[in-house]
Amino acid sequence: METSRSAELFAEAQHHIPGGVNSPVRAFRGVGGTPRFIEHGAGAYLYDADGNKYIDYVLSWGPLILGHAHPEIVWVVSNQAARGTSFGAPTASETELAQLITAAMPAVELVRFVSSGTEATMSAIRLARAYTKRAKVIKFAGCYHGHADEFLVQAGSGVATLGLPDSPGVPPAATADTLSVPYNDLDAVEAVLKQHHDQVAAIIVEPVAGNMGLVPPLPGYLTGLRALADAHDALLVFDEVMTGFRVAPGGAQELYGVTPDLTCLGKVIGGGLPAAAYGGRREIMQQIAPAGPVYQAGTLSGNPLAMVAGAATLRAISAPGVFERLSQVAAQLRDGFAAAAEAANVPLQAASVGSMWGFFFAAAPIRDYASAKQHANAARYARFFHAMLERGVYLAPSQFEAAFVSLAHDDAEVEYTLEAARAAFRA
């Protein structure tokens, strides 16, 4: 496969951009080799600067649930751009998207738009601390809630990929009130809550972990978190930046039947443009300025391009049978990869939840960050990644990331992917 143009572009980018990329995992450090510079996308496919074509399972790390350059999204964004891209003033499109979100998620009675998932989680935790008048926050090792200082404690995503336990530049005081415990371990949560009695403002969790690789919650885990939060007067915050409108029409909270106090959203709700949000019970959200004293603002929050793209996306995926189809495609890939690995005598743990899927090169079950780091063979994943890339399948350039499907992925793409996987497992 020809990659010389991508190599040239990457070399040039490194003269002007730290590491040549604007988000670390894009640099292929977790798998080695030359990152592909993409020129355009269409449906389920990416096309790079060398003219190579790939079936895409990264999908901009989750937002593109309709696929690349969906005609409706292109039309609404183009139409809005011709009328203006940003006003710094309210628009009706903000209310329209807010209505779509609150209708799909009953736990979200009011919603505030921001521009990134990091902003959403950071703002939700500020709100939780103000509402409860407590400082400490429980998070889970391997769960990634953005790059705010307080969250870079045993974080997943690119931090896991690069092997960074924390980040330089984060002072100890910034993380002093962040308590990290293992995912899928209720006993550990209860012990910390008892140790820090009346001090914990919130428990924040990815209800389906997607930033240590795809790790679903164990049966009863999310229900248990709800009960523990209630017992200790802490708020339960679901970081659904990844799972929102991905695993079910109403997110993981609908899928698992657990009601959080606050919800963080992103990715899908922007339709491929920068948009995120946080929301929850009215009495809590009314504390946000200008309704209340908790300050949060953003120049491009609720920008009209992202609002119309997000609204068009949520309307499209509200059609009957959409999530059944998405879940079916992800399950086909999960089961097909598992069967191909077994036939090749390759240890593999594969899983899917809604339109999210993923796999670990591991013989033992993966239930948390510690077992992912201990059992997952990242070197083997890197070899497999490049074998798939050479066959025209674009997976996440890291063992510790989830994969996604879109409505543009049809039987033909699935069949081709599984045939490529069978060859790659044997390679």
Give pLDDT tens digits for 183-197: 999 999 999 999 998
Cβ 195 vs Cβ 131: under 8 Å = no
Helix ranges, 113-220 (H): 117-132, 157-162, 172-175, 186-195
Residues of the chain above pLDDT 90, percent: 91
Q: Which residues of the chain have pLDDT under 50?
A: 156-165
**pLDDT attached to residue 80:** 98
What does pTM read for this prediction?
Answer: 0.94
CA–CA separation, 268 vs 275, rounded Å?
9
CA–CA dist 258, 207 (Å, integer):
10
pLDDT of residue 392: 98
Helix (H, G, I), strand (E, B) or coil at 352: strand
Task: Give the span between the Cα atoms of 397 and 95, in whole angstroms.
Answer: 37
| Sign of the Cα pseudo-torsion (196, 368, 224, 120, in order) | positive
Please tell me the predicted confidence (pLDDT) of residue 166.
Answer: 61
In 3D space, the residue among 47, 74, 112 whose CA is nearest the CA of residue 297 turns out to be: 112
Alpha carbon distance 117, 276 (integer Å): 6
Find, among 95, 116, 99, 102, the residue nearest to 280 by Cα.
102
8 A C-beta contact, residue 378 and residue 399: yes
**What is the C-alpha to C-alpha distance for residues 146 and 242, in angstroms, rounded to an integer?**
12
Task: Confirm if 135 and 199 have CB atoms less than 8 A apart.
Answer: yes
**DSSP reduced 3-state for 256:** helix
Whole-number pLDDT of residue 350: 98
Pick the CATH number of 71-317 from 3.40.50.150, 1.10.10.10, 3.40.640.10, 3.30.460.80: 3.40.640.10
List the domain boundaries for the chain.
Answer: 4-69+320-426, 71-317
As its CATH architecture, domain 4-69+320-426 has Alpha-Beta Complex (3.90)
Please list the active-site residues.
144, 239, 267
Angle at 69 between CA 34 and CA 35, to 5 degrees: 5
Distance CA(291)–CA(95), nearest Å, equals 16
